[in-house]
Amino acid sequence: MSTQLFLFLCSVLIAGVINYANGAVMVREVSAGHLAELPCLSSDDYHRFMFWELKDNQHIISPGNPHDSEKYNYEVLTGKLFIRGVSTAESGFYKCVSRGIADTSVIKIHVVELVVRKDSEDVWENNFETNLLRSMAAVTVIVLAVAIVLFIVIMKRRKNHHFFEMQESRENSPARYNPKVQNVPSTEVPTSVESRGIDNVAMDVDFPKVFKLMQKEQAIP
């Protein structure tokens, strides 16, 4: 910080004429690695932009004060501050200080809170809980895939086993023709009429005797 700015701030503090713009802190959220734009609401028609005080209260960004031009830049008229490639370490409160045009003893300050969020890809890669959940999800998918494959294999085996059982039952069925089996002709055992008898009593006639009687009758003249 230059000696002139230091003396000016001391004189302002002694005078005690300091106003805060809007009385509230503005919040700006930016993703890590992106460009942050911090507006200076203390610079208006009655106040002229003087400098930005960084969050560490040790660095001043102002005209005529050396600073890292590749990192920081600002608009002279509006006082808007640009910070390139912000990181989470740069999160904090930034103060934009403006001085009265008509009354130079009047100081107006606007406070902006810079909130730098981690990039979603970095969070995904570096967060332990996220990595744990991702690993559990991968294991779950693998287990489900293996279970589905095993289920399909078991169902196919059951179908094949059932098919083979049906084939064996058809082959062992007695109605199926088997060329290896030879039909043995059945032999009938002759039985005499006398031994078996005749069921119908009216038909129980001695035919030989009847034939002999008929021949004798024909032989007589």
**103-123 per-position pLDDT tens digit:** 888 889 999 999 998 866 555
Q: What are phi and psi of 129, to 5 degrees?
A: -65, -40
The Cα 100–Cα 38 span in angstroms is 21
Query: CATH homologous superfamily of domain 3-118?
Result: Immunoglobulins (2.60.40.10)
| Domains in the chain: boundaries | 3-118, 127-159
Beta carbons within 8 Å of 5's beta carbon, 6+ residues apart: 51, 60, 62, 65
Highest mean pLDDT among 40-44, 124-128, 177-181, 216-220: 40-44
Confidence of residue 205 (pLDDT cuts 50, 70, 90): low
What is the chain's mean pLDDT, rounded? 74
Span 10-37, pLDDT tens digits: 554 444 455 655 557 889 999 998 999 9
CA atoms of 164 and 218, how far apart (whole Å): 79
Instruction: Say if CB 38 and CB 90 are below 8 A apart.
Output: no
Residue 55 has pLDDT above 50, yes or no: yes
pLDDT band at 192 (very low <50, low <70, confident <90, very high): very low
Dump pLDDT digits (tens) for 61-116. 888 887 888 899 989 888 999 999 999 889 999 999 999 999 888 889 999 999 99
pTM surpassing 0.85? no
Print burial letters for 149-174: b (CB count within 10 Å at least 16), e (below 16): eeeeeeeeeeeeeeeeeeeeeeeeee
